């Protein structure tokens, strides 16, 4: 009995220690993100499949601003645009002439990337965070939803000191999208209109907000 009790105690202690470490990692990540009120950068993108075979490369512009504002504009090889204006998330495909719009809260459920512009306890409680130390100045934070309800199953966010330099997304098929950021700076006062999306003429609109409401 004593031996069994000792093993059980060890398991419980290990579980509590791991949980505390994960909680501390989440706190550290939130602290790093809280220092970024806004960010504007260019990005290069590389997508590989589950066998590490290249699928696509691309480039574009990435920006975010607290609270709940996000801008992702893929310019190469094919244009696409994602804009969060604080209340709504717009996904625009110029080639297909389609726009999907959903609530920002839905966007967080669709991808842990939404955590970059969310700071509320309820949202963060849905995810686990684990830190990986790369070197003396660089570290990555692996984010996973506690309950899987989207095609994005994992996100990693990487910093060099306080600067956000890279993030990766893994989908349920095992495809890995890697985004490297350069030319990081704050969003200028005359650039804030990038977080406002105007629906182009003659495009189809898929309004997920209405579907959610009904």
The pLDDT of residue 120:
72
Q: Which comes out higher in pLDDT, residue 124 or 118?
A: 124
Q: Which comes out higher in pLDDT, residue 92 or 121?
A: 92
What is the DSSP pairing of strand 54-65 with strand 176-185?
Answer: unpaired
- Measuring CA to CA, which residue among 109, 90, 108 is closest to residue 100? 90
Q: How far apart are CA 183 and CA 177, in angstroms?
A: 20
**Quick check: 21 pLDDT over 70?**
no
- Measuring CA to CA, which residue among 125, 132, 127, 88 is closest to residue 106? 88
- Measuring CA to CA, which residue among 194, 155, 158 is closest to residue 69? 194
Range 199-206, long-range pairs (CB < 8 A, 24+ positions): 199/90, 199/99, 200/92, 200/94, 200/97, 200/99, 202/97, 203/92, 203/97, 203/98, 203/99, 204/97, 204/98, 204/99, 205/98, 205/99, 205/100, 205/101, 206/98, 206/99, 206/100, 206/101
Give the confidence band of 33 by pLDDT, cuts at 50, 70, 90: confident
The 88-93 sheet, strands edge to edge: 127-133, 138-145, 152-160, 163-171, 176-185, 38-48, 54-65, 69-76, 80-85, 88-93, 98-103, 204-207
Q: What is the mean pLDDT of the chain?
A: 80
The pLDDT of residue 112:
63
Q: Which comes out higher in pLDDT, residue 121 or 28?
A: 28
% residues pLDDT > 70 (the chain) = 80
**Quick check: 213 pLDDT over 80?**
no
Q: How far apart are CA 82 and CA 196, in angstroms?
A: 11
- Measuring CA to CA, which residue among 29, 36, 117 is closest to residue 72? 117
The pLDDT of residue 10:
40
- Region 168-190: mean pLDDT is 91
Give 38's Cβ-side CA count (13 Å radius).
13
Q: What is the pLDDT of residues 63-118, one digit of tens each?
A: 988 888 889 898 888 888 889 888 888 889 988 889 988 887 776 665 666 677 77
């Amino acid at each position: 009995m004593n031996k069994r009790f000792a093993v059980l105690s060890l398991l419980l202690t290990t579980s509590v220690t791991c949980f505390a470490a994960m909680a501390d990692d989440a706190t550290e990540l939130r602290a790093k993100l809280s220092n970024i009120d806004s960010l504007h950068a260019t990005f290069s993108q590389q997508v590989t499949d589950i066998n590490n075979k290249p699928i696509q490369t691309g480039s574009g512009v990435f920006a975010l601003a607290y609270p709940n504002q996000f801008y992702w504009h893929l310019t190469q090889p094919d244009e696409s645009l994602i804009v969060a204006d604080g209340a709504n998330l717009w996904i625009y495909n110029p080639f297909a002439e389609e726009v999907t719009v959903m609530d920002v809260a839905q966007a967080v459920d669709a991808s842990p990337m939404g955590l970059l512009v969310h700071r509320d306890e309820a949202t963060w409680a849905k995810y686990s965070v684990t830190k990986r130390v790369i070197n003396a100045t660089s570290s990555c934070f692996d984010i996973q939803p506690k309950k899987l309800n989207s095609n994005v199953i994992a996100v990693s966010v990487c910093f060099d000191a306080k600067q956000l330099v890279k993030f990766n997304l893994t989908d349920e098929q095992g495809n890995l999208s890697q985004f490297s950021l350069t030319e990081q700076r704050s969003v200028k006062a005359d650039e804030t209109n990038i977080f406002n999306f105007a629906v182009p003429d003659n495009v189809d609109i898929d309004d997920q907000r209405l579907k959610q409401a009904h």
